[in-house]
Structure 1
């Protein structure tokens, strides 16, 4: 989305294939002298979304950059694939995972250039697909929204008392249960942002924390999430695996300290901090809490976090993609 917002007004030479979930497909070809729009409506999308696009009407070199593991079989296509992570391959099983991996690996192998959103994702790609030439891979980091910034206008959330916040998916590898257990050993409350709790999750939180020490606010706007970050004592992010880890940077940009597990892409994204969990133990959590109780250390962590988040912007990402597009166009 952020890339498309910046690309649409630029009219550089490219063909972009954009797919959001399974119901919205658009292919746009941009030319400085002739802008043409193609909308592909297909009632057999549930099948065709797994197949390459021929785009026979295009008879000169163009860039085909898919948002979800598609490629063009047109001989003039310069295929670029962005790879976000390998969550399916590491943590999921079954037919859905088999199909996903088949489609992903096929697109990668048919790509002229591959973009990974972190060095860790690049490492994972070469682990699962050692036949890929590393010279074809570029690392272009995601950005973080300007909707996140330090503010003192969070009185509503401050009334909740001292709390830590858990943001995002609660899939097993995200270690939500560890977060609940860790909070239970402290005096903090837990604010949960994301899908509403399942009955089992709610029962577990009640068992460990009691009714007054946790709240699930569901999905919230960026504006409200910024306020939640601003009044939180910390973001608790004990995930085993992240392709990038945008909530880490959102929190840092808002001036919220981040306690995160030091695995996958997190160390390269989070910057210099003493709050990386070396293991998912209560003692490690308490070590981080003790650091945050020191006002001088906390202020230093907040300042370093804000500075670190400045390394990642959507404009910077866009310029790096634009540079790649220009390079591949020249080389074709």
Structure 2
């Protein structure tokens, strides 16, 4: 079985859930010495820098062509025997020897965006779905969305394979917690990831304004000037921002947080929920999309992005933190990157028969 991976996602983002997903698959392919080769652009991706691929196994492309190459079919002329092609982000190959796999993580663009950005994304996704021999979705909810937006895709071509959670996340001992940097005596809520409009970051700031006993710790890309102004105007002196941090540092932040706040209107999966559960940290999130699949009966799911409902959720966490912690451990144990990898490998093997 020969496999070719398109690593374009590492150049499209510096960090994120798809980068994590892709790196977890790659490291296991390398571990198991699968016959795999790669295409890659230059990148500044944090996750990619954590492992090494032999230079002989990578074909590098110039970053100046990234904007155009991401929409073009890859010829892969050196692949002259049957192989499985899997792109990290919606690319296809026109090599006739390829069996093609694509992973659909969500339908954010279809649901929340307009204009050229939406149009280009939909065009690209439609092309890759048409070419795919198998489509992997990361949750049952994403599969449901896939069939809603692309009803012509045969259901037997769709495989639901859940994401996993890294072993980098675990409860720290009380002794470890005494020596953590940049943590004060005040409790804080931890916000992780994108701050696009559907993620409800502005709502999070409003909630913190009404909860003066809590600070807000933000992990993600550099803050925009508009976001900094909102933070200063509403919760001045009660927020900190962290960018380009390791999983080791992120685990520390999870461990010391009162709770993870995850008020997103839509998720294809929701890896931070699992990371919080593995670290023993309660979470509060909106009950929508794939979140109930990931959350199970752990954490607190809120019906709407309303300050009063989220304040009630914080009070519930305060009164039930030990129970939520144990439920989180049990729920997180249902997901693993090893399971994700083995199920994905089974797809490759089926196409290689």
Please state which band the TM-score falls in when normalised by the shorter chain: 0.7 to 0.9
Match of 1:260 in 2: 285
State which of 14, 28, 34 in structure 2 corresponds to 1:6: 28
**1:75, CA displacement in angstroms?**
2.5
Task: Name the stretch that deviates more: 194-203 or 37-46.
Answer: 37-46
- Other-structure match for 1:190: 216
How far the C-alpha of 1:237 sits from its partner, in A, is 0.5
Q: CA RMSD in A?
A: 2.2
Would you say 1:135 and 2:156 are equivalent positions? yes
Shift of 1:280: 1.0
Distance 1:68 1:21 in 2: 16
Aligned residues: 315
Out of 205, 227, 230, the position equivalent to 1:204 is 230
Structure 1 residue 262, shift from structure 2 partner: 0.9
State whether structure 2 residue 214 is matched by structure 1 residue 214.
Answer: no
Quote the offset at 1:20 in angstroms: 5.8
Match of 1:117 among 99, 124, 138: 138
Higher CA-based Rg? 1
Select the residue among 59, 78, 85 that pairs with 1:39.
Answer: 59
Q: In 2, Cα distance between the equivalents of 1:273 and 1:9?
A: 33
Q: Does 1:66 pair with 2:87?
A: yes
Higher deviation after alignment, 188-197 or 275-284: 188-197
- Identify unmatched segments of 5+ residues in structure 2: 1-22, 46-55
Offset from partner CA, 1:91-112 (integer Å, 9 cap, x none): 2222233222211110111111
Give 1:254 deviation, angstroms: 0.6
Match of 1:32 in 2: none
Summarize the alignment of residues 305-324 of structure 1 with structure 2, pairs less than 5 Å apart.
305-324=328-347
Cα displacement (A) at 1:258:
0.5
1:126 to 134, 141, 147: 147
Shift of 1:11: 4.1
Using a 3 Å threshold, how does the CA distance of structure 1 residues 105 and 197 change in structure 2: closer, same or farther? same
The alpha-carbon deviation at position 55 of structure 1 amounts to 3.2
Q: 1:168 to 1:240 in 2, by over 3 A?
A: same
- Give SS of 1:8's match: helix
Q: Is the 8 A contact 1:183 1:189 kept in 2?
A: yes
2:112 corresponds to 1:91: yes
The aligned runs of 1:138-157 (5 Å cut-off) are: 138-151=159-172, 152=174, 153-155=176-178, 156-157=181-182
- Can you list the C-alpha shifts for 1:17-69, whole angstroms capped at 9, x where unaligned? 54468899xxxxxxxxxxx8462546745433322233344443211111121
Structure 1 unmatched runs, 5+: 25-35
